[in-house]
Amino acid sequence: MTAHPRLSMNVATIKYAPFEDSLRVLLDAGYESVGLWREPVAELGLDEATKRFADSGLRLSTLCRQGFFTMEEGAARRASIDENRRAIAETATLAAAGAPRSRAVLVLVAGGLPEGSRDLVGARARIADALEELAPEASAAGVTLAIEPLHPMYASDRAVVSTLKQALDLAAPFAPETVGVTVDTFHIWWDPEAEAQIERAGREGRIATYQVCDWATPLPADVLLSRHYPGDGVIDFGTFTRAVEATGYAGDIEVEIFNQQIWDAPWAEVARRTAETFDAAVAPHLASVPAGA
């Protein structure tokens, strides 16, 4: 079996697979690239996970995820900043162990409103503060922090960064190789400014990762699990993919799906279906295969 040379599957799409199995499933399905999560790496221990990842021959598209730094100064904030420091180091280690063209990209989910707070402006300002603390460490480690704007329905409890424009404004004070953005169709498809901001993100050199999955209604009871295979919903992948390609982005394209039905399906089937739906809905709109692929 083969998968498109620019396709990466994020292991959260087969959430219940242990680290080793997730790599095996992707190799069997012909993938070259993978998006990893910190939790399965931690379960195995970083050294052992790094070794097994290196042995797999896969390349790294992103490491998910850290961030969650909207709280006010205090012990919890210090713990969060420290956790982000560890995540930066892990990203560098895993990317170095991956196949050529691995990307040292750490996806950042900002965090929601602190418990009991209604101060959205303050929470957003504290993201800027956290980036200022973390950017020098990311830069020293050669890691790109990829701020991910999340759909506005997650603004209160998960990420107060809700639009690509806002993510780019937060990234603006930093070098683009240190602070970039995650362009995820699921989160931004509704935004009238999305295409213009993708163009801007490209111009500013800040597209750290392009992620694709689909939106469909009705939303499930847990709206976190409302992501679908590309083509199974309403998102116009042609428009978004051409916009991203037009910026010159030639990196991996990651599929990351949180969906209980997909989590309950056999892992090999999910990997196969991810590759098939990517081929049908996304690949036809790609401008290029990267040099060296």
Residue type, 130: A
Interacting positions 150-179 with a second copy (CB under 8 A)? 151-153, 155-157, 160, 162-163, 165-166
Token digits for 67? 């961030």
Rounded Cα gap, residues 224 and 228, in angstroms: 11
Minimum Å gap between C-beta 118 and a second copy is 4
8 A C-beta contact, residue 63 and residue 94: yes
Residue 98 or 233: which CB sits closer to a second copy? Answer: 233
In this complex, which beta carbon is closest to a second copy, that of residue 47 or of residue 217?
A: 217
Single out the residue of 190, 203, 266, 289 in contact with a second copy (rule: CB under 8 A).
190
- Of the pair 21, 119, the CB lying nearest a second copy is at 119
Task: Please report, to the nearest 10 degrees, the dihedral formed by the alpha carbons of residues 227, 237, 203, 194 taken in order.
Answer: -60
Q: Which of residues 101-140 bind a second copy (CB under 8 A)?
A: 113, 117-121, 124
The nearer residue to a second copy, 215 or 267, going by C-beta atoms, is 215
Q: Are strands 105-109 and 144-147 parallel, antiparallel or unpaired?
A: parallel
Output 38 or 228, the one with its CB closest to a second copy: 228
Contact (Cβ atoms closer than 8 angstroms) between residue 275 and residue 33: no
Element (H, E) at 287: none
Counting contacts by CB under 8 A, is residue 234 touching a second copy?
A: yes
Question: 61 near 254, Cβ under 8 Å?
Answer: yes
Residues of this chain that bind a second copy (CB under 8 A): 113, 117-121, 124, 151-153, 155-157, 160, 162-163, 165-166, 189-192, 215-219, 221-223, 233-236, 239
